[in-house]
């Protein structure tokens, strides 16, 4: 018990001692976070507080290894897993520190997280089975690797994204560390308890300088280190106990950051934005928009986290089905909190997902149409003449403005593309090397029945002009098209882009493909 006491208060003392030194160091080397659109602070703040968290947590953990007592012996007996955990956490800290000092692309950070999580799995730190009940144990096999990597990477990014207000990430992580420490002590995992108590102490000391108004931020060096370490330790707890509560209890303690990350990714997916793109629609941003001050918003999130974690602790004293019921109930409470704050709207989300699926299906059909037409065009070039029109392409012979057949052999493919990609009309004006001009115009034919286009359809069109110059053929071609906006502008823009690609391939094809027209002759029917 004395070891646990000294580990916690030793890390608190080191954090209080080291953090002011890190503040001065950050200002000296220019490692400060400037005010901007992403942040809510109004003055430059040092951003390498993770250095103080890392040193104040790691020093007591390493010191425990040399103790001549049961805790030290247990730590040395688990030296393999502990060494891998210490090394991988240190590497993640260094990745975050590099990002604080010199921006590292988000994809590279994600790659580092995946590699380090895979390293832990390879060393045996992974969930191989989950005991849903005493009688029902679910073996994971190879899926255990995937679950472990996804869990560790997910927790790492959840903590990283939650670092948006003064003291928010540090406080939530402190609660999670306390919960995992309780579970580790109850299940007899002394080494993990020491690890979590050291982290808890470093965060408590750091919060004295990080709580609003903050004098220092933890930065990515702190958030990535904390998220990775907490995720890895929760996996070790679950792996040794095989109990579902080993993962569900940390999940409840980090419920707000986890759900905030999931909803942020979903929101960016529906908005066709990168999942790495920053925004100001996180849970804590919504609280600020509701009129809360930073300090009050952070305290509210602390209370919600303590409530979720406190209710989750009842899973330790309940039977299997009772624990699952508690877990489900707390998750519903967290989701209700997100709904009340306005982070997610179920009806709008379902509508957005339906529209996303409809747009993807439509774009896939349009792409297939383009590929059929492209194949037909290339077949024409290989044969040196126009092959029979496939059954799925319009068979009518397009006419130019004079009522004559177009002088371009590939014009039928262009018109077929215009028909199937829902264009209202296409105008082509070609200028030969001798200055003569040729014009062809296609208009959407009148249809009947369900395909009949009303005046309202033609009233919603998007026009586009684009030139194509063929140096080899000594011909300049000017296209002007009108795309029917049937549905959305995004679909119309996609269809216009496909048509431009096909038209460009037609004009820039080999001279043999265009017959004698490229030589300046005018083949009349």
Same domain for 174 and 42 = yes
User: In angstroms, rounded to a whole number, what is the distance separating the alpha carbons of residues 354 and 360?
Assistant: 10
Tell me: do 412 and 300 sit in the same domain.
no
d(CA 215, CA 237): 34
One domain, residues 339 and 386: no
**Is residue 399's pLDDT more than 60?**
no
Rounded to whole angstroms, the Cα distance separating 428 from 234 reads 66
Give the neighbor-by-neighbor strand order of the sheet with 461-470.
437-443, 423-431, 475-484, 461-470
Round to whole Å and give the CA distance between 428 and 416: 14
Q: What is the pLDDT of residues 362-395, one digit of tens each?
A: 888 888 888 888 887 777 665 544 444 444 444 3
Whose tokens are 């003064």? That residue is 166
Q: What percent of the chain has pLDDT over 90?
A: 27
Q: In the structure, what pLDDT confidence band is assigned to residue 475 with cuts at 50, 70 and 90?
A: low
- Do 99 and 166 lie in one domain? The reply is yes
Domain final residue, candidates 344, 374, 407: 344
Residue 166's domain comprises 2-344
Euclidean distance between CA atoms 154 and 117, whole angstroms:
11
Instruction: Judge whether 356 lies within some domain.
Output: no
Output the pTM of the full model.
0.77
pLDDT the model gives residue 381: 61
Q: Say yes or no to pLDDT of 448 above 50.
A: no
Residue 398's φ and ψ, nearest 5 degrees, are -65, 150
Residue 122 counted as domain residue: yes
Element (H, E) at 469: strand 461-470
User: What's the domain count of the chain?
Assistant: 2
- Is 486:421 a contact under the CB 8 Å cutoff? no
Range with the lowest mean pLDDT among 157-161, 207-211, 237-241, 321-325?
237-241
In terms of domains, do 206 and 306 share one?
yes
Let me know if residue 353 belongs to a domain: no
Q: Is residue 360 in a domain?
A: no
C-alpha angle 328-329-333 in degrees, rounded to nearest 5: 115
Contacts of 48 (CB under 8 A, 6+ apart): 22, 25, 26, 31, 97, 100, 101, 216, 219, 221
DSSP string of 36-56, one letter each residue: -SS---SS-EE--THHHHHHH
Residue 262 shares a structural domain with residue 372: no
**Residues 299 and 382 occupy one common structural domain:** no
What confidence tier does 201 reach under pLDDT thresholds 50, 70, 90? very high
Task: Specify if 415 maps to a domain.
Answer: yes
199, burial (CB in 10 Å: exposed 0-12, middle 13-18, buried 19+): buried
Model pLDDT for residues 211-240, shown as the tens digit of each residue: 988 899 999 999 999 999 999 988 888 776
Instruction: Provide the CA 456 distance to its chain's centre, in angstroms.
Output: 39
Q: Which residue has the higher pLDDT, 450 or 153?
A: 153
Are 239 and 375 members of one domain? no
Token pair listed for 471: 């140096």
CB 182 within 8 A of CB 166: no
Q: Under the phi-then-psi rule, with left for phi > 0, alpha for psi from -120 to 50, and beta for the rest, what region is 384?
A: left
**Is 419 or 224 the better-scoring residue by pLDDT?**
224
Which residues are within 8 A (CB) of 3 and not within 5 positions of it... i.e. 6 or more apart? 64, 67, 69, 71, 72, 194
SS3 367: helix
């Amino acid at each position: 018990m004395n070891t646990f006491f000294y580990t916690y208060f030793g890390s608190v003392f080191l954090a209080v001692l080291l953090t002011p030194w890190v503040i001065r160091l950050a200002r000296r080397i220019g490692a400060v976070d400037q005010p901007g659109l992403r942040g809510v602070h109004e003055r430059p703040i040092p951003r390498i507080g993770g250095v103080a968290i890392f040193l104040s947590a790691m020093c007591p953990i390493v010191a425990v290894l040399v103790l001549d007592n049961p805790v030290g012996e247990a730590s040395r007996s688990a030296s393999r897993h502990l060494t891998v955990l210490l090394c991988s956490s240190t590497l993640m800290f260094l990745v975050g520190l590099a990002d604080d000092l010199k921006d590292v692309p988000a994809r590279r950070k994600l790659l580092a997280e995946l590699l380090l999580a895979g390293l832990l799995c390879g060393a045996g730190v992974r969930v191989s089975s989950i005991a849903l009940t005493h009688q029902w144990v679910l073996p994971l096999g190879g899926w255990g690797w995937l679950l472990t990597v996804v869990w560790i990477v997910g927790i790492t990014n959840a903590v990283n994204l939650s670092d948006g207000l003064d003291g928010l990430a540090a406080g939530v992580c402190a609660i999670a560390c306390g919960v995992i420490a309780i579970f580790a002590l109850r299940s007899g995992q002394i080494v993990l308890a020491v690890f979590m108590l050291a982290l808890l102490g470093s965060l408590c000391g750091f919060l004295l300088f990080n709580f609003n108004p903050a004098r220092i931020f933890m930065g990515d060096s702190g958030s990535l280190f904390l998220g990775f370490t907490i995720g890895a330790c929760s996996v070790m707890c679950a792996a040794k106990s095989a109990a579902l509560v080993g993962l569900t209890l940390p999940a409840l303690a980090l419920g707000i950051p986890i759900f905030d990350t999931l909803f942020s990714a979903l929101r960016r997916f529906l908005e066709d934005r990168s999942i790495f793109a920053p925004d100001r629609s996180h849970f804590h941003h919504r609280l600020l928009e509701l009129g809360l001050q930073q300090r009050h918003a952070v305290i509210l999130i602390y209370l919600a986290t303590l409530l979720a974690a406190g209710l989750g602790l009842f899973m330790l004293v309940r039977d299997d089905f009772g624990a699952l019921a508690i877990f489900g109930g707390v998750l519903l409470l967290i989701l209700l909190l997100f709904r009340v704050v306005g982070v997610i709207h179920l009806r709008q989300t379902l509508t957005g997902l339906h529209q996303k699926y409809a747009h993807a299906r439509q774009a896939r059909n349009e792409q297939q149409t383009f590929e059929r037409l492209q194949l037909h065009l290339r077949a024409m070039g290989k044969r040196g003449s126009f092959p029979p029109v496939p059954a799925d392409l319009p068979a009518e012979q397009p006419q130019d403005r004079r009522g004559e057949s177009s002088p371009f052999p590939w014009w039928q493919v262009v018109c077929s593309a215009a028909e199937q990609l829902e264009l209202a009309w296409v105008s082509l004006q070609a200028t030969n090397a001798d200055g003569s001009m040729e014009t062809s115009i296609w208009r959407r034919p009148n249809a009947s029945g369900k395909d009949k286009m009303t005046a309202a359809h033609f009233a919603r069109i998007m026009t586009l002009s684009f030139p194509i110059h063929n140096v080899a053929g000594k011909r300049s071609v000017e296209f002007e098209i009108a795309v029917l906006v049937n549905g959305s502008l995004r679909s119309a823009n996609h269809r216009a882009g496909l048509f431009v690609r096909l038209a460009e391939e037609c004009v820039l094809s080999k001279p043999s493909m265009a017959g004698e027209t490229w030589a300046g002759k005018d083949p009349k029917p």
